[in-house]
Copies of this chain bind each other. A is one copy, B any other.
Amino acid sequence: MTKTKDRGAVALPLNTIIDGDCIEVMRSLPEASVDLIFADPPYNLQLRGDLHRPDNSLVDAVDDAWDQFSSFEAYDRFTRDWLSAAKRLLKPNGAIWVIGSYHNVFRMGAELQNQGFWILNDVVWRKSNPMPNFRGKRLTNAHETLIWASRDEGAKYTFNYEALKALNEGIQMRSDWVLPICTGHERLKDDAGDKAHPTQKPESLLHRVILGTTNAGDVVLDPFFGTGTTGAVAKMLGREYIGIEREEAYRKVAKKRIENVRKFDSDSIAVSTSKRAEPRVAFGVLVERGMLRPGEMLVSPRGKTAKVRADGTLIGDDVKGSIHQVGAHLEGAPSCNGWTYWHFKRDGKQVPIDLLRQQVRAEMREN
């Protein structure tokens, strides 16, 4: 899996997690060699005292040393340094994603502009299940903000418009994304059973970022690698990753995690480019949320099969397209409701995919 790309004198260590401070490491890597950077830096939360829930339990806050800065000036200096090192690494048509909260995102956004990055969108991750405001003193902090920017104004950045549109019921993707926070089995635990990292991001978020703004084979670098969500999703989607992480415990967890990830096959990774492909339902969301996996086979009541692709389309023996199109073709029918036609296997039984849609709808209703 590990390989390198030679860029003149220095090699680019692909699909590895580099130990060290991200600024120093980035400065040591060859310039103009990376297609996309995804960065989830410390938020500088500035929490004051303890916080208890109404039931008197204590909230496990982010109080790690790596999130502490002495002042806005110190945080700005840090931001300036890592962003300029990142810019140097990007190819001319490369792009960057950063994520943050109101504590730090305004400073990151301003510095991106100061350094000549060109903001393409700010994107709101609307959390379907945020932590409430326990004291009733403010609004529930229910979102985080991502900024997507190209290296320079006028850059020919990558944007898979049709793939994201397919993920969004055939309607063009908006700048607000409703996704659950990372919990349950996806949330990595340490040996003691506690969360391995206080701020692990959901794979669904990275799925959308990487699918939408890179091509297969692109190099994706994450300078604040943590537990390696970026690397795991990049590997699934057939992209090359480079992680930088200075905490040994995080590196260890990330390495093991990514080793267990299987790359989806090429058919599954291919995204829609046809303007005709306009699925009328958000089948792609099931894939994005991990309810169905790219490469997984769906079955019809009469035994026809088709394979799930990462952008929410299907591929059969001699046909590809939406769940409805593929179903109609296999049945020789003018139309077909893919939601009731296609089934997946769970515990030996065949279950219609419509069941999964109902689950998603239930979650969406709650917003």
What is A's interface to B at a CB cutoff of 8 Å?
52, 56, 72, 101-103, 105-110, 112-114, 119-124, 126, 130, 132-133, 136-143, 145, 147-148, 159, 161, 164, 172-176, 274, 331, 333-336
A164 to B107, CA, bound (A): 29
Q: Is the CB of B113 within 8 A of A72?
A: yes
Interface of A is mostly: mixed
Note all chain B residues with C-beta closer than 8 A to A52. 334-335
Q: Is the CB of B123 within 8 A of A126?
A: no
Contact of A139 among B107, B130, B173, B334 (CB under 8 A): B173
Q: Give 8 closest A-B pairs by Cβ, nearest first.
A: A106-B109, A142-B174, A102-B122, A56-B333, A136-B161, A140-B174, A106-B110, A110-B110
Q: 8 A–B contact pairs at CB < 8 A?
A: A102-B109, A107-B109, A109-B109, A121-B138, A124-B124, A126-B126, A136-B274, A137-B161
A126 to B139, CA, bound (A): 15
Note all chain B residues with C-beta closer than 8 A to A274. 136
Q: Is the CB of A141 within 8 A of B72?
A: no
Q: Is the CB of B145 within 8 A of A114?
A: no
A336 to B139, CA, bound (A): 24
Note all chain B residues with C-beta closer than 8 A to A333. 56
Residue of B nearest to A161 (CB): B136
Q: Is the CB of B72 within 8 A of A172?
A: no
Note all chain B residues with C-beta closer than 8 A to A148. 139
Q: Is the CB of A140 within 8 A of B105?
A: no
Report if A122-B145 is in contact (Cβ < 8 Å); known contacts: A56-B333, A139-B175, A274-B136: yes
Q: Is the CB of B110 within 8 A of A107?
A: yes
Note all chain B residues with C-beta closer than 8 A to A130. 174
Q: Is the CB of A172 within 8 A of B106?
A: no
Q: How far is the CB of A150 from chain B (nearest CB, A)?
A: 10
Report if A123-B139 is in contact (Cβ < 8 Å); known contacts: A56-B334, A132-B172: yes
A52 to B259, CA, bound (A): 48
A161 to B148, CA, bound (A): 34
A112 to B106, CA, bound (A): 10
8 more A-B contacts (CB under 8 A) besides A72-B114, A136-B274? Answer: A56-B331, A56-B333, A56-B335, A102-B121, A106-B112, A110-B110, A126-B176, A143-B175
A120 to B333, CA, bound (A): 50
Residue of B nearest to A120 (CB): B138
Residue of B nearest to A101 (CB): B122
Q: How far is the CB of A124 from chain B (nearest CB, A)?
A: 5
